[in-house]
Amino acid sequence: AVALRHYPGGASPPIVVAKATGSLVESMRALAERHGVPVVDRPSLAQALSQETSLHQPIERRYYSAVAQVISELS
**Rounded (5°) CA angle 6-32-66:** 40
| Position with higher pLDDT, 16 vs 74 | 16
Across the range 37-61, mean pLDDT stands at 95
Looking at residue 47, its pLDDT comes to 95
Looking at residue 51, its pLDDT comes to 95
Segment 8-30, tens digit of pLDDT = 886 889 999 999 999 999 999 99
Q: What percent of the chain has pLDDT over 70?
A: 99
pTM given for the model: 0.88
3-state secondary structure string, 2-67? EEEECCCCCCCCCEEEEECCCCHHHHHHHHHHHCCCCCCCCHHHHHHHHHHCCCCCECCHHHHHHH
Looking at residue 11, its pLDDT comes to 82
